[in-house]
Amino acid sequence: MLFNSISFLIFLPIVFVLYWFVTNKKLRIQNLMLLTASYFFYACWDYRFLFLLMFSTLLDYYSGIKIEEASNKSKKQIWLFISIFINLGFLGIFKYYDFFALSFAEAVSRIGFQIQPTTLNIILPVGISFYTFHGLSYVIDIYYQKIKSERDFINYGLFVSFFPLLVAGPIERATHLLPQIKKERTFNYSEAVLGFRQILWGLFKKIVIADNCAVIANDIFNNYQHLSGSTLLAGAFFFTVQIYGDFSGYSDIALGTARLFGIELLRNFAFPYFSRDIAEFWRRWHISLSSWFRDYLYIPLGGSQGGRLKKIRNTFIIFLVSGFWHGANWTFILWGLINALYFLPLLLSNSNRVHMKIVAEGKMLPSLKEASQIAFTFFLTMIAWIFFRSETVTQAIGISARIFSSSLFSIPNGVSIAIMFLVIFFFLIEWLGRANRFAIENLFPHSPRFLRWTFYYIIIVLIFLFGGQHQQFIYFQF
C-alpha cells in the first residue's frame, strides 16, 4: 500500500476514526488497533513476509527480556549474539546472498576457474532493512543498560511495526518511540493540522517533483551511451532532485501521518542540499540512519578517539557499510567510498563540524561564500549520486567520463522546461522554510489566512496536474 495511492487514502481515515473515536477509551486497545492496522498495511505488500516481520519482532522481544534477566555477562552476550546473528542472517539471505554468490563466481573466473553459482532469486521483503535495525538497536540498548526490556508485546510490536515508518523509516529508537506508545494520548487539533500540512508537502515532493524528475532521469540514464555530457549532467541533476524529493517526501508523509495519531517520529531530513560541506550534508541527510551507524558502529569502533589512522579507518568503515546497507551492488559500495573520500579532507583538517547552524540564518539570501559552498557541495553530491543510480560500475564510469568531456559544453537534450520551473519553485519554498522542521510548517506566518490557503490549493492543483507519472518510492528497494 503506497502513501500516494487510493487505497491509502481510504485506509488512513478509517484508522484515524477507529483510533480517536472507537478505541480511545483505553490505551492498550488503542495500541492493539494500531498494531493490527500496521500488520494489515504490511500484508498488503505481500502477506507471506508478514510472518517474517512477526518472527523478527518476537525474536527481539524475547531476546530483550532474556538479556535483562540474565544473571551474568556471558549469558547476556549469548542472547545478544542470537538476536544479532538471526536478524543479520535473514537480512543477509534475502538481500545479499545472490550478490556474494555472483561476486565469488566472477572473482574465481578471473583466475581461470568457472563455477555456476546457485542463486535464490527471491523478492526482497519490503522494509526489512528498517525494521531489522529497529530490533537491533533495541536489544543492544538493553544489553548496555540504556533501557529496560518492554514486557508488553503489543507495545513492543507497535514500536517495530508502526505503519507510517514500517517500510522506509525513519529508523526509530526505543528510547524515543516506546515512551510515546506507552503514554496516554489525547487529540491535539493543532498537531493534526500540522500533520496534514506535512503530508501535503510530502505528497508534493513525491508526486510533482520526484516522479516527474524520475521520467527525465530514467530516460537519460537508460540511454547514456548516445548522449552528450551536458545531457548526462542534466540527468544526474534530475536524479539528485528525484531521490531527495522521493525519500524526504516519504519521510514527511510518515511524520505527518504519525502526528495525526499523537506520535512524533524522528526527523529524517533537514534541508541537506543547502549544506556548505559534505559533513553538514551527512548531518542533514537520512538522519536516522546516519545517527544509527554513529551510535552502534562508529562509536563502538572508537569513533574519533585515538590516532589519525584509526579515525580514517572508522570513517571509511561507516561510509562503506552505509553504501552496502543501501543495496547489494558494487555501485552502492563505490558511492560510499566516494563520500568517504569527500569527507576525508574535513576529517584531517578537523573542520567537519564547522557548519552546525542553519545557512544564512535570519537572512533572506546567503553570502557569496555560502552560495559557492552550497553549489560546490551540491555538485559533489550529484556526481556521487551517479554511482548510486547506475545499474553497473561500468555505466557509472561511462556516464562520469562523458560528463567530464568536451560534450559537456553542448546544449542538453530532453530537459522539460516546465519541470525545471517546478524544481526551482520547490527549492525556493524549501529555502524560505529552511528554519522549520519541514518547509511549509510555518510558511508565510504573518500573511492573511486566505493567502496561505491559496498556496495550499496551488499545491493541491499541482499534485493533480502533474501526478500522472506514478513511481514507486525509491527506498522501498532497500
Which entry of 326, 355, 446, 470 is annotated as an active-site residue? Answer: 326
Distance, in Å, from the CA atom of 3 to the CA atom of 44, rounded to the nearest integer, reads: 12
Residue identified by cell 549469558 is: 75
Three cell numbers written together for 96: 545479499
Name the one residue in this structure whose C-alpha cell is 569527507.
343
Q: Backbone dihedral region of 348: left (phi > 0), alpha (psi from -120 to 50 degrees) or beta?
A: alpha
The residue whose grid cell reads 478505541 is 23
37 vs 12: CA distance, rounded Å = 10
- How far is 199 from 256, CA to CA, in rounded Å? 5
Q: Give every CB contact of residue 239 below 8 A, 6+ residues apart in sequence.
A: 213, 214, 217, 221, 385, 386, 389
Q: Residue 48: is it exposed, middle or buried by C-beta count within 10 angstroms (0-12/13-18/19+)?
A: exposed
Residue 348 CA to residue 124 CA, distance in Å, equals: 39
Examine the residue annotation and report whether 355 is marked as an active-site residue of this protein. Answer: no
The widest CA-to-CA distance across the chain, in whole angstroms, is 74
Q: Where are the alpha helices (DSSP H) in 404-469?
A: 417-432, 449-465
Tell me the catalytic residues. 326
